[in-house]
Structure 1
Amino acid sequence: MFNILPKLRIWIALGLFCLSLSWSIPAQADTSINSQLEQQVLEIIRNHPQVIIESVQKYQQSQQQKVQESRQTFLQDFKTNTQAVIGESPTTGAKQLKTVLIEFSDFECPFCAQAQKTLKDLLEKYPNQLTLVYKHFPLSQIHQQALPAAKAAWAAHQQGKFWPYHDALFTNQKQLGETLYLDIAKKLKLNLTKFNRDRSLADTAIQKDIQLAEQLGLAGTPAFLINSKTVSGPVRLSDVAGILERE
């Protein structure tokens, strides 16, 4: 059967190109060209909507392919150069990198708060086997305090107090705000001048984590990636204990 789609794409492209040219015509020129071309392009789109649908589908496929390629590259790096992937992110648990679990988390996410008890239990049960890495993934579009809390935690990390600060944020998740951030800093005896200065410098590191999460196609929090002797890749938290037990 004759495939009309390639020609339709050309017609639409030419129509849009002509429209762009006609828009540049001086106002005193005959504006009927604009209207005529616009009607022709709209008519083609109405009669052949599959052209638009196909273009959108191809774009989505292209984006999915990019995500898959980024994920594969990351997982390979995670396997072969784990320390580089960890970078300067906070870690806790085993010093030797036997089984490394990366958590992408948001301090205002209720599901992230729920996950903390399971993570603590795993770290207590496998103290010499499991290393937990924290990556910031504040969902600022839906959580107003996610980014400010991440900045405060990052600032605490600069004084070696990330994990107690992390625990305090999740414990007091319903009170997230400036008062809480300063109260926790005072209780942990942080240098407040440095703490406040570091909060203003946190954006670069946090954005780096966010960009990584987006490159991996992560859509929500908490999200987990594991690297062990037998498994490397995305994992559900409920499966981590089984992986550790087998190894």
Structure 2
Amino acid sequence: MGTLFNWFSPLIRYMRTWIAISLLFLIVTWSFPAQAASPLDPQLEQQVLQIIREHPEAIIESVQAYQQLQQQKVKQAQQAFLQDLKTNPQTVIGESPTIGSTQSKTVLIEFSDFQCPYCAEAHKTLKQLLAKYPNKLRLVYKNFPLVSIHAEAMPAATAAWAAYQQGKFWEYHDALFTNQKQLGQTLYLDIAKKLKLDLGKFKRDLTLATPAIIKDIQLAEKLAVSGTPFFVINSPTFLGVVQLADIESILTGDKF
């Protein structure tokens, strides 16, 4: 089995600060229950700080123990995901859009963001691979919109899901990446018109897309996916996280 996921996502890297804050509140609650309702009281603040000065190792040990527990949970989730992908790929695919050969033994899971420039570049390579190896690859698209840095990632994912309900996901997907610099409501409607979608249904489905997209996001977070594009592959020769540059080598059996 190849290299697995990057366990140390930004969430875990920043966990030390947040857990320390939480522990401060616990100290306040346990030690000063009568005063806990006034967390900004100067005397109480000094008492809490004194406890930390006298027992800093307790904070550090608690943070480290929590981080280890979280890493263990992530590892277990990753192993379960890979096992499902190996033994029952349809469980992983679910209702996500797929393209390529349904009979292929190689399934590529892509976590992607329609506003991510690296995803747009990956899209070009994936189209070439699908055209070159039509019977060797099945691509599965999972949404992972990076909403904190890409304002149009979620709206674009929503529009693509609405198009998917009319059997036009991949055409819509291609148009979004091709016109990535024009992402916005005008583009979403223009693409729908060009694909001759039922506009009434398209607009209604825009309001129904969120649960499916959130489900993908939750899966990505559970697996500690920290960026896009992110690929996991199951082939006769390799199972695990894969770089885009290595996918063709796996398909041809020249690597791994």
TM > 0.5 between the two?
yes
Count matched residues.
228
Inter-partner Cα distance in structure 2 for 1:38 and 1:187: 62
Deviations along 1:105-151, whole A, 9 cap, x unmatched?
A: 00000000010111111111211010001001111111000000000
Residue 254 of structure 2 corresponds to residue 243 of structure 1: no
The Cα shift of 1:13 comes to: 6.4
The Cα shift of 1:84 comes to: 1.9
Which structure carries more relative contact order (alpha carbon 8 Å, separation 6+)? 2
Residue 30 of structure 2 corresponds to residue 17 of structure 1: yes
* Range moving further from structure 2, 50-59 or 196-205: 50-59
The one-letter code of the counterpart of 2:193 is K
Residue 210 of structure 2 corresponds to residue 203 of structure 1: yes
Q: Which residue is equivalent to 1:233?
A: 240
Q: Which residue is equivalent to 1:80?
A: 87
CA gap of 1:82–1:14, structure 2 versus 1, over 3 A, is closer
Q: Which residue is equivalent to 1:112?
A: 119
- TM-score by length of structure 1 reads 0.86
Identical-pair percentage: 65
Structure 1 gaps of 5+ residues are 1-11, 26-31
- Alignment RMSD: 2.0
Inter-partner Cα distance in structure 2 for 1:22 and 1:140: 39
Aligned pairs for 1:36-47 (under 5 A) are 38-47=45-54
Residue 142 of structure 2 corresponds to residue 138 of structure 1: no
Give the 3-state SS of the residue equivalent to 1:21 in structure 2: coil
Residue 178 of structure 2 corresponds to residue 171 of structure 1: yes
User: Contact 2:29 / 2:36 at 8 angstroms: preserved in 1?
Assistant: no
Residue 167 of structure 2 corresponds to residue 180 of structure 1: no
User: Contact 2:104 / 2:135 at 8 angstroms: preserved in 1?
Assistant: no
The one-letter code of the counterpart of 1:160 is G
Aligned pairs for 1:42-53 (under 5 A) are 42-53=49-60
CA gap of 1:154–1:16, structure 2 versus 1, over 3 A, is same
The one-letter code of the counterpart of 1:93 is G
Q: Which residue is equivalent to 1:59?
A: 66
- Higher gyration radius (CA): 1
Inter-partner Cα distance in structure 1 for 2:26 and 2:193: 62
The one-letter code of the counterpart of 2:51 is I
- TM-score by length of structure 2 reads 0.84
Structure 2 gaps of 5+ residues are 1-24
